[in-house]
Amino acid sequence: MKNIVVVGSQWGDEGKGKIVDWLSEQADVVIRFQGGHNAGHTLVIDGKTYKLRLLPSGIVRKDKISIIGNGVVVDPWALLEEIKEIKDKGIDVTVDNFIISESANLILPFHKEMDEIREDSAGKSKIGTTRRGIGPAYEDKVGRRSIRLMDLRSEINLDKRLESVLLHHNAIRKGLGKKLFQREQLKKDLLKIAPELLKFSQPVWMKIDQFKKQNKKILFEGAQGILLDVDHGTYPFVTSSNTVASNAATGTGCGPDSINYVLGITKAYTTRVGEGPFPTELNDEIGELLGTKGKEFGTVTSRKRRCGWFDGVLVRQTIKVSGINSIALTKLDVLDELEEIKMCVEYELNGKRIDYLPASVEDQLKIKPVFKSFKGWKKSTNGIKNIDELPQEAKDYIYAIEDFVGTKISSVSTSPERDDTILIENPFEI
């Protein structure tokens, strides 16, 4: 048995959906362990596109079990809508192939409104959230006033939990001059959808223990990227959860011994959505080309992604922070038209050279990248499935990345299609 954690090694949008879908063919169980419907995964299978936000990527495959872990915050209405969307495309979502942790915390309407209020009032200091209520929901979880899925089983219990959370939120809303939320209406709305949600509810920690005893292969699916981790990312321009691989254990209810391998999904260049530091960002025609050819628009928000050269310093750092065993390099084909390709190998801060990203956002915004240049290959790599068929310049670039970040590249993706992948080493067979 081998259990694999898949994480993004940059700021998210690295192409985790495709890689998880590709790996899930060999897995028995796929589990989301953090984030919410702010993270979009786009899968292209047999010409059909699936855009997932909460559902694990394994849901599109038959005979796989997909799970939303306790570390995920769940907008119940968004989840039911997504289930309907995927069913309309011919995918079955039943109690036999889909489970939600009974301990998962719910995103409620006032969370989304609070997210919007904060972003709108922050001006130039805004974080650039997806305005989905993720942060406020995690705050309520830590504040021990959250509504969890299990709370929907009892109207009496739900009453008490709503009283607690609305006491907090309505006090803030009153101070901001916003309309107060009525407990009875919210309770009525939740109880209406409760049966549809609760039928999927189970103690996930217990199911994982059963799967381990049955020697099932488990794929833990992360959302966003390590540079958005609330502890290890470019704080405060981060998400509200831990995106590192070790959170796969906490976010699902299993011990760290359940994790046997960590795969870091890594884009052949760098992108970022929202505000915050971005040392290698390109505000020129090359940045525009990367964005256009790479179709760099958010799955969830459709926001245009900022684009830049590959930052080897950042990826090397996230590999160490998250214990990544190998990386899956994605979107190599987006670089096909470039005469010259650059990789950041060092930073300059206040006249001194440094080889890591400093923790202070003030320093992060001041650092200047030091680049190493590579000759472009000016040939199509789209759809190539064998590394020997790549142009020599493309292979040189891949090996240079591998050498600099200090971790092997186990696969290279050459298009959005599931099968257009160069497999160098299969994590499930090591």
Count of Cβ atoms closer than 10 Å to residue 49 Cβ: 10
Is the backbone peptide bond immediately before 236 cis, with ω within 30 degrees of 0?
yes
| Integer Cα distance of 51 and 161 in angstroms | 33
Strand arrangement of the beta sheet that strand 4-8 belongs to:
201-202, 98-101, 65-68, 29-32, 218-221, 4-8, 261-267, 326-330, 408-413, 421-423
User: What are the DSSP E strand ranges found in 41-183?
Assistant: 41-45, 48-52, 65-68, 73-74, 98-101, 105-106
Query: What is the rounded CA–CA span in Å between residue 385 and residue 412?
Result: 9
Helix (H, G, I), strand (E, B) or coil at 122: helix
Active site residue 41: yes
DSSP 282-311: --SHHHHHHHHHTT-B-TTT-PBPEEE-EE
Angstrom distance (rounded) from CA 6 to CA 9: 10
**Nearest-angstrom CA–CA distance, 252 and 219:** 12
Catalytic residue among 21, 28, 37, 41: 41
- Residue 326's φ and ψ, nearest 5 degrees, are -160, 165
Q: Which helix (H) or strand (E) is 412 found in, with range?
A: strand 408-413
Answer whether 256's CB lies under 8 Å from 249's CB.
yes
Q: Which of 13, 75, 151, 420 is catalytic?
A: 13
**From residue 324, how far is each of 20, 216, 270 by CA, in Å?**
15, 22, 18
Dist CA 258 CA 248 (whole Å):
9
* Angle, CA of 14, 266 and 413, to the nearest 5°: 80
- What gap in Å lies between CA 236 and CA 226, rounded to an integer? 14
* Cβ–Cβ under 8 Å, residues 404 and 310: no
Can 13 be counted among the known catalytic residues? yes
Which tokens belong to 59? 């849901």
Q: What residue ranges in 96-158 does DSSP mark as E strands? A: 98-101, 105-106
Instruction: Tell me the C-alpha distance between 58 and 21, whole Å.
Output: 6
Q: Which residues are catalytic?
A: 13, 41
